[in-house]
Structure 1
Amino acid sequence: MSEQIIIFDTTLRDGEQALQSSLSTKKKLKIALSLEEMGIDIIEAGFPISSPGDFKSVEAISKKLKNSIICSLARCVQKDIDVAAEAMRFAKNFRIHIFLGTSPLHVKSKLKKSFSEIIDMAVFSIKQAKRYTNDIEFSCEDAGRTPINQLCYIVENVIKAGATTINIPDTVGCTIPHEFSQIIKSLYNKVPNIDKVVLSVHCHNDLGMATANSITAIQAGVRQIEGTMNGMGERAGNTALEEVIIAIKLKKNNLNLHTNIKHKKIYKTSKLISEICNTFIPSNKAIVGTNAFSHSSGIHQDGILKNRKNYEIITPESIGLKPIKLNLTSRSGRAAVKYHMIEMGYDEKLYNLDILYNSFLKLADKKGQVFDYELEALAFIDQKENDNEHFRLKKIDVQKQSIGITFSSIELYCGKKIKIAETKTKKGLINSIYITLNKIANFPIFLKNIQLITKKKKIHIEISTKVQIEYKKRQFYGIGNAKDIAESTALAIIHILNNIWRANKVNIILKNIKK
């Protein structure tokens, strides 16, 4: 029968430690509720003794959680334990998580104690925590560098004292899978009362081994995994929970294990945490990265179109993500181009695939990724005409005036005509330019996203502006490069306006074809 792996999330505690500033109570609560919705078993909400703000956040979360068990961290200090319990007093059930360094390095240089004193501190603290709850977790900090006999001895004693979960952290991410597995196996073989507790691991990613170590620990008998969403955390981060969760799901027949996680909530939770914490998820990040389900190689794209299982071991839908379209780049083949045209509703009889593919390759070599609306224009607009820009910037003047008002004046070539528009607004420089340009173009557009990137050149700084605009439920992307923000923003938006203009022209051409 399949056994459950308990998922312990420490995004709000260990994950937050990596942020430049603390999260507000409101933001922490939003994350906690999303983690609970995803099915996380235990949420480590914070370290209440560390600050009044952390205490307040843990207290607020303890009032709201209904299914997940709330947990707070405490040192082997009586006041820490008292404050942790006080912060969680509104929860029906809660866990106190006590930690203490056990490696010779931590014992001598950090704690300046003898090992026997460490044992006494641990046992005393667990007995103090038992006044508040029977759910007590003890972490042997720096277990990866603790001699195995000492580790076994302290684990045996804290179990006798009343700990119900024992955590074996690879605190500095120094172990490799076989080495870490041997530590876990030794605990099971040498600690006589190990069967009375749940064994847990908390791995760091300093050598890029956090997920591998966690999975190896599971195979050695561990039944609780600790980590964070997106692998957030100190230094190189923690075990990325989404990776472990999906590995358990994918290898359920091999491992004979399961979790209580609602897998289709993973992407939503990952994205929410990334946005709230203002942390960038690398595009090649396993499971939740933007490239995790994208395919650029023509060979891969052809295989995916025939059967997604050819190059995908999990589906985007399984983590709550919509199916990802194939990237159109110079490495794409005819199959991908044809697929995109079919997806847009175009019969192959309406265009010549060979001519379109050759035109596509030239554009892809020039600009990199090609979007569907650009492919559409290549298929139906004459090449020479397609190369011409309908909208071109003639002059731009942006000034910050008194009381927060920005004034923009823009002259734009519109085919053979020149049009001028002006705007005064309190909405800032970027919105001022956006409003002014659309007074000229007059499209029903909505500014969705904008990103500014500063590039250092040899003799000057260049601003690169990336813009996303929605037009009739379709997403358009533009980029502009210039020496100042105003011009680069204008060029990026004009880039999009030209693509919208071409998309409208395609519609007119197709209507005439149907006639």
Structure 2
Amino acid sequence: MLSQPHTKYRPYPSVDLTDRTWPSRTLTQPPVWLSTDLRDGNQALFEPMSRQRKLKLFHELVRLGFKEIEVGFPAASKTDFDIVRTLVDEDLIPDDVTPMVMTQLREDLVRETVRSVRGARRAIVHLYNAIAPAWREIVFGLSVPQIIEMVEHHIGLLRRFTAEAPETQWVLQYSPETFCMAELEISLAVCNAAIAAWDAGPTRPMIINLPTTVEVTTPNVFADQVEWMHRRLHRREHIVLSVHPHNDRGTGVACAEQALLAGAQRVEGCLFGNGERSGNLDLVTLALNLYAQGVSPGLDFSDIAAVARIAEECTSLPIHPRHPYVGDLVFTAFSGSHQDAIAKGFAAQAADGPWRVPYLPIDPKDIGRTYDSIVRVNSQSGKGGIAYLLERDHGVVMPRRMQIEFSAIVQKHAEASETEISSEEIWRLFSEVYFDPLREGAYRYVAHALDEGPGGDTLRLQLDCTALGQRIESSGRGNGPIAATVAALNPALRVDSYEQRSLGSGADARSIAIVEVAHPSIAGSRFGVGVHDSIATASVLATLGAFNRLGVPLEKAGTSAPTTVTA
């Protein structure tokens, strides 16, 4: 029984640091950020990312502002090696971005790792080995002097290999893996040996990275460990002190925050915390926690939904609807008292005043979210019942974010009418919102022509609409009907999701397409729906409907190149 006293698990000892200073400090600046999404995050996936997805995520990390990115374990994977070489050989790494490559302590692996990134302007080579008692005694059978000798030997090899490639500025990162479970005196001895072996100094930069390889203590103990090391590391002024928290106890973000108070200058993690076991440090949560305290994180999360969609596409991992800041439901209140407080907060909030809306730690607009679904019905059955009736009576299966959006519309109508909303009334509302937007200036579909473009690898769309009594023709090219419609309407549109399915069965069944689009100038995204005998026509109608609901202008027709949206 878990409720009974036991001696199976022993708490790790606390740190004898009676003069600790970190509890009285305040975070006033962001850390150096290192993304491990392409390496630590990738190895934790059911199916590791393909080359295409890895490169797409790399470019997204660069766009977000990451200046250090761990790009792989090239000595252990041909895929990783080839991707690293692609980044270097095709000059895909911006001058202000430093790639990091990782390897264990083995001569052939160290040599291959250096070869993988040779020619980059600047590169971090990350060497690591486990030093905690269980690993020393059970896994490797090595004494502490043997471990120190192994570290010194392999750093010496790294110095020799990197000296043969002076065109690259080399940085050593050394991680005493399992640091959080090792004796501090041994951690210090190993790290100081690494510092001396690399000869860290003004022209020989070095990072000491302290991982919570497996979380086994409370965050305050980890902070004590970091401060203890921070005070005692040799050549401290030439060392960047980094932490790599995992999340086994669910306190990865707390460990990082307290470690920064304790002297750490750099953090490693994944965008949304994916990693082995319970995950790595969640970088988005840490960054936006800082932002909520008035500290600019130096990363661009102004359209957090777009970042989430790319991460989900590249990793095939869904983001929990209640994930901090980014989940589809985090700015949604079901409680009546919460709804009342939030509504009063919005009414009282001054445009240029400090943020004081109850229950909302940050302004959703700051991260590209909207207020549309914040105040919602009190019961889950409101959203679930609407989705059930639409599917049962009309065959429409709404995506989760669309359910949130449309149930808020139904709830508003119900409150105004003060009557029960029937299935027929729900369908009428659905049709008005998604099929035929009634706002002034909306583009009304008349006809379209779709044919293959030159070479047969793209489609060409001629779109005929009316707006404000005028006939409007536009054209565009893409690798599918949705992409071609985007190009014809406004190339800056971004397709966040799309679904296509049959309504019913049989040869005469109609098709439905649901498309979610966004635009850089407008917060949030909008859905459009198209129903037609032809799935291609349904896709065009759905894209046009979503475009109308965004309310952005139609741009000059006839793009010179196909849009990159795959649809």
Q: SS in structure 2 opposite 1:299?
A: helix
The Cα shift of 1:19 comes to 0.8
Contact between 1:95 and 1:135, CA under 8 Å: does it hold in 2? Answer: yes
TM-score, normalization: structure 1? Answer: 0.67
How far 1:271 sits from its partner (Å)?
A: 2.5
Give, in angstroms, the shift of residue 281 of structure 1.
Answer: 1.1
2:323 is matched with: 285
2:58 to 1, 17, 32: 32
- Counting only pairs closer than 5 Å after superposition, residues 354-393 of structure 1 correspond to structure 2 as 371-375=407-411, 378=414, 386-387=422-423
Partner residue, 1:401: none
The yes-or-no answer on 1:104 pairing with 2:133 is yes
Matched, 1:92 2:126: no
Report how far residue 88 of structure 1 moved: 1.6
The one of 364, 379, 390 aligned to 1:316: 364
Deviation at 1:26, TM superposition (A): 1.1
Tell me which residue corresponds to 1:447: 514
Match for residue 343 of structure 1?
A: none
TM-score (norm 2): 0.61
Q: 1:104 to 1:282 in 2, by over 3 A?
A: same
Partner of residue 120, structure 1: 149
Partner of 1:274: 312
1:135 to 164, 171, 179: 171
**Cα displacement string for residues 95-119 of structure 1 (whole angstroms, at most 9, x for unaligned residues):** 1011111112112222222211111
Higher mean displacement: 13-22 or 261-270 = 261-270
Alignment partner of 1:313: what SS?
Answer: coil
Q: Which residue of 1 aligns with 2:431?
A: none
Deviation of 1:320 (Å)? 3.2
Code of the residue aligned with 2:273 in structure 1: it is G
State the identity as a percent: 23
Judged with a 3 Å threshold, the aligned counterparts in structure 2 of structure 1 residues 60 and 270 are, in CA distance, closer, same or farther, namely farther
Aligned residue number for residue 47 of structure 1: 73
Deviation at 1:137, TM superposition (A): 0.3
- Select 2:275's aligned residue among 233, 242, 249: 233
Distance 1:372 1:178 in 2: 42
Give the secondary structure class of the aligned counterpart of 1:86.
Answer: helix
Alpha-carbon distance change, 363 to 125 in structure 1, aligned in 2, over 3 angstroms: closer
SS at match of 1:317: helix
2:308–2:319 CA contact under 8 A, matched in 1:
no
Partner AA of 2:217 in structure 1? T
Query: Are the counterparts in 1 of residues 177 and 211 from structure 2 also a CA contact under 8 Å?
Result: yes
Task: Determine the structure 2 residue equivalent to 1:174.
Answer: 216
Highest CA radius of gyration, 1 or 2? Answer: 1
Q: Distance in 2 between matches of 1:381 and 1:258?
A: 45
Which deviations, in whole Å up to 9, do the C-alpha atoms of 1:52-88 show, x marking residues without a partner?
A: 1111122223331203211000111122222222222
Q: Does the alignment pair 1:326 with 2:374?
A: yes
User: 8 Å contact 1:171–1:203 — kept in the other structure?
Assistant: yes
Q: 1:11 is paired with a residue of what secondary structure?
A: coil
Contact 2:242 2:267 in 1 (8 A): yes
Q: Deviations over 1:161-210 (max 9, x none)?
A: 22510000010111211110111111123334333201111011110011
Question: Does residue 151 in structure 1 map to residue 151 in structure 2?
Answer: no
Show CA shifts across 1:203-245 (max 9, x none).
Answer: 1111001110010000001000010011000000001001111
Q: CA deviation digits over 1:283-307, x for unaligned, max 9? A: 1111211122222222222222232
Structure 2 unaligned spans of 5+: 1-26, 163-168, 201-205, 347-356, 390-402, 428-498, 517-525, 531-537, 539-544, 546-567
Which residue in 2 is equivalent to 1:10? 36
User: CA contact under 8 A between 1:378 and 1:386: conserved in structure 2?
Assistant: no
Specify the SS of the correspondent of 1:263: coil
The secondary structure found in structure 2 opposite 1:232 is coil
1:124, CA displacement in angstroms?
2.1
Match of 2:86 in 1: 60
| Paired residue type of 1:165 | I
Q: Distance in 1 between matches of 2:299 and 2:418?
A: 53
Say which SS state the counterpart of residue 70 (structure 2) adopts.
strand
- Per-residue CA deviations over 1:353-381 (Å, capped at 9, x if unaligned) read xxxxxxx89978x9897724534764788
Unaligned runs of 5+ in 1: 333-359, 392-428, 450-472, 478-492, 494-499, 501-515
For 1:112 and 1:430, locate their aligned partners in 2 and report how far apart those are by CA, in whole Å. 57
Match of 2:352 in 1: none
Whole-angstrom distance in 2 between the partners of 1:189 and 1:280: 41
Structure 2: how far apart are the matches of 1:379 and 1:104? 64
Distance 1:52 1:325, change over 3 A: same
Question: Which of 300, 324, 328 pairs up with 2:338?
Answer: 300
Residue aligned with 1:248, SS:
helix
Q: CA RMSD for the aligned pairs? A: 3.7
Tell me the number of residue pairs that the alignment of Structure 1 and Structure 2 aligns: 387
Q: Which residue of 2 aligns with 1:244?
A: 286
What residue in structure 2 maps to residue 489 of structure 1?
none
Give the number of the structure whose residues are more often helix, by fraction.
1
**What's 1:511 paired with?**
none
Superposed displacement of residue 37, structure 1: 0.6
Kindly tell me: are residues 111 and 170 of structure 1, through their superposed partners in 2, closer, same or farther at Cα, counting changes over 3 Å? same
Helix, strand or coil at the partner of 1:94 = strand
